Amino acid sequence: MKKYLVILAAIIFSCTPQQQKKSENEEAISSEKNELIQEGEGHFSNMKQLTFGGDNAEAYWSLDNSKLVFQSNAAKWGVECDQIFVTDPFTDDLAKNQPNMISTGMGRTTCSYFMPGDTSVVYASTHLGNESCPPVPERREDGKYVWPIYSDFDIFVTDLDGNILKQLTDTPGYDAEATVSPNGDKIVFTSMRSGDLELYTMNIDGSDVVQITDELGYDGGAFFSPDGSKLIFRSSRPKTDEEIKIYKDLLAEGLVMPTDMELYICNADGSDLRQLTDLGKSNWCPFFHPSGEKVVFSSNHETERGFPFNLYMINIDGTGLEQISHDNTFDAFPMFSPDGKYLVFSSNRNNGGTRDTNLFITEWKD
């Protein structure tokens, strides 16, 4: 009888809604086989592929660890260029069902992120400038690989039903790449309002805009540390006269060349700025480990031809560089769930030899 009561008590106390959801989530991931994990990927366990076709990237967690917001141009979902979607990575079957689109379906979108409370999302869109997808840069005669910096990008807040609640920026030129402090008080973003691509912060309502960086070069992809005290970001900082000319000439065309980027770290107000990596080639899409003492990022610094990209981790003092993924294609956009149990990232693995970039979620082992 005593044994029965102990078991019954365990069942009762283990079935609160939050704990039951947590158990279901873990079971959904653990049911997957590890065939997606490459040799040497010791931090990964029970990996699950979330999307199947198109370009799917920049998936970021809700604060309650239950949802992902991401951008996709999957043709099967009726979009012509990147739009913003929300999904439950533990229960949704995106191989069969379309996730909920929360952007307008017009223009091109990028860089979505959950706002405090997980009932709204901040993202950038070009739809006010033109409802059509903006043109993709043509292949250049000089062979340079470039990213477009669309001047129509502004930053908006939407609810999870796709209703725009507020426009946060309304200045000429590029405003995008917004992410939110875990403290729920600040947003960091990249803007061209000074004539160069610099980092800015603003309050959660768009007020009190403050410039954070001021050196020539593309500063972008910034994220706050778990305690909100620091920023990690990527930057291309041209030094020589030739590099500066190339950077300025491309910027005048609305383009940047992301083939030479390093990671920088600073306090949330821009003070104590320092270069974190000095690896060469492209080091980008950094995100803090939940401890706040390490950063995970994507890099091609060990390659001869600029490919593949793999995930790496480094201590915030610049020591302890460790390769995390060992794919022979492309792994990028890593983000830890706030509770540190999962990592989501984009990859070309398991795409059947196509160019599809899909989302993957894996249990994380420190």
Task: Tell me the pLDDT tens digit for each residue of 132-150.
Answer: 999 999 989 888 899 999 9
What's the rounded mean pLDDT across residues 161-176? 97
Distance set, CA 41 to CA 183, 210, 286, 319 (Å):
32, 40, 18, 20
The overall average pLDDT reported for the chain is: 92
Residues 6+ apart with CB under 8 A from 78: 98, 105
The answer, yes or no, to whether residue 15 has pLDDT greater than 50, is no
Q: Is pLDDT above 50 for 191? A: yes
pLDDT value of residue 29? 53
**CB of 191 within 8 A of CB of 201?**
no
Which pLDDT value is given to residue 306?
85
Q: Does 30 score more than 90 pLDDT?
A: no
Diameter over CA atoms, the chain: 83
DSSP helix, strand, coil percent of the chain (3-state; round to 5): 10, 35, 50
* Partners of 18 in beta bridges: none
Percentage of residues of the chain with pLDDT beyond 70:
91
What string of DSSP letters covers 266-309? EETTS-S-EE----SSBEEEEEE-TTSSEEEEEE-TT-SSS--B
- Stretch 306-334: mean pLDDT, rounded? 97
pLDDT digits (tens, 9 = 90+) for 250-277: 999 999 999 999 999 999 999 999 999 9
Question: Which has the higher per-residue pLDDT, 6 or 143?
Answer: 143
Banded model confidence at residue 288, pLDDT cuts 50, 70, 90: very high
State how far the Cα of 190 lies from the Cα of 194, in Å rounded to an integer: 11
Residue 11 has pLDDT above 90, yes or no: no
pLDDT in tens, 201-214: 999 999 999 999 99
Cα–Cα distance, 39 to 98 (Å, whole number): 32
List of residues 6+ apart from 214 with CB closer than 8 A: 194, 198
pLDDT in tens, 32-65: 458 999 999 999 999 999 999 999 999 999 999 9
pTM equals 0.91
How is residue 219 written in tokens?
């500063």
Instruction: Give the dihedral sign, CA 176/181/187/188.
Output: negative
DSSP letter assigned to residue 18? H
Residue written as tokens 């992301």?
258
Q: How far is CA 131 from the centre of its chain?
A: 24
Phi and psi angles of residue 198, each rounded to the nearest 5 degrees, phi first: -115, 165
- Residue 3's pLDDT band (cuts 50, 70, 90): very low
Give tens-digit pLDDT for 327-358: 999 999 999 999 999 999 999 999 999 999 99
Whether the Cβ atoms of residue 340 and residue 328 lie closer than 8 Å to each other: no
- For 57-283, CATH gives 2.120.10.30
Of 356 and 9, the one with more pLDDT: 356
What's the confidence (pLDDT) of residue 24? 53
